[in-house]
Amino acid sequence: MEDITRFATAIRIPFKNIDFLQQAVVHRSYLNEHPDFRLGHNERLEFLGDAVLELVVTEYLYETYPDSPEGDLTNWRASLVNATMLSSIGQDLGIEAYLYLSRGEAQDKQSKARQYILANAMEAIIGAIYLDQGIASASTFIHEYILVKLPYILEHKLYLDPKSKFQEMAQELIGVTPSYRVLSEIGPDHLKQFTVGVYLGDECITEGQGTSKQEAQVAAAEKAIEMKGW
């Protein structure tokens, strides 16, 4: 992995104790294979960073949108701090090059697990910045790399879950409310796999799979949004 001081330089934060930042990128799995590593894993820093992130984002939304109701602010905040968004930002920042992972985790680059590892590392980095530099620097980092995504989120209505977004766009653009039909379900009860079709009128737009009907509906809606270019 890369020298973590390069990351500190890239984000323009002069850490007094670089160990905070290094620990922020240590996954628990690495310590299973390297029990003598001098630092702990990043889960406590992640816990702290999650709280700092939520506070800074909440305060920004509260002050910037004084006329918006609580429900909207909650949805906007969730779209900024969820694992998908944080892992995407983490990838853009090149955090993967600095992660301390077990051999197995290091090879598994495309899974949901890697997404959560990146998102958790982002939160841990925020925690490290807060411990080393204080709330002002942590807030600056959050504004520069996370809150900057808000205009795009609002423009493309990414704060809506896929089913809500597809329904809103379908009603707005073609005046039709989507419907969902279970096309198949296979496997025993504890390992069920559902295939669901999403329909506009009688036309099946696409299909989605999942371990529950809801999960399959969401997957179908996501694919339908992409296919329609919405």
pLDDT at 106 over 90: no
Measured CA angle at 132 (ends 129, 138), to 5 deg: 30
> What are the residue ranges of CATH 1.10.1520.10 in the chain?
4-155
Question: Where do the CATH 3.30.160.20 domains begin and end in the chain?
Answer: 162-228
The first and second tokens of residue 125, run together, are 């980095």
How high is the pLDDT of residue 1?
66
Q: Identify the CA nearest to 200 among candidates 224, 176, 230, 167.
A: 176
User: Across the chain, what does the average pLDDT equal?
Assistant: 94
Tokens standing for residue 129: 């910045």
E strands present in 27-178: none
- Angstrom distance (rounded) from CA 37 to CA 196: 47
Residue 215, CB-side half-sphere exposure with 13 Å CA sphere: 8
Report yes or no: 170 and 200 within 8 Å, Cβ to Cβ: yes
**How far, in Å, CA of 46 to CA of 138, rounded?**
13
pLDDT exceeding 90 applies to what percent of the chain? 82
**Residues with catalytic roles:** 50, 123
Q: Is the pLDDT of residue 111 over 80?
A: no
Q: Is the pLDDT of residue 11 over 90?
A: yes
* C-alpha of 9 from chain center: 24
Residue 189: the pLDDT is 82
Q: Rounded to whole angstroms, how far apart are CA atoms 178 and 66?
A: 34
The dotted CATH code for 162-228 is 3.30.160.20
Residue 130: what pLDDT?
98
Q: What is the CB neighbour count within 10 angstroms for residue 170?
A: 21
Give me the CATH code for the 4-155 domain, please: 1.10.1520.10
The per-residue pLDDT for range 30-67, each reduced to its tens digit, is 999 999 999 999 999 999 999 999 999 999 999 999 99
Q: pLDDT, tens digit, for every residue of 122-164? A: 999 999 999 999 999 999 999 999 999 999 999 988 888 889 8
Structure tokens that stand for 100 in this block: 């301390």
28-33-34 Cα angle (round to 5): 85
Distance CA 71, CA 60 (A): 15
Q: How many residues does the chain have?
A: 230
**Residue that the structure tokens 């800074």 belong to:** 56
Q: Which of 226, 217, 215 is nearest to 156 (CA)?
A: 226
Q: Quick: pLDDT tens for 175-227.
A: 999 999 999 999 988 889 999 999 999 999 999 999 999 999 999 999 999 99
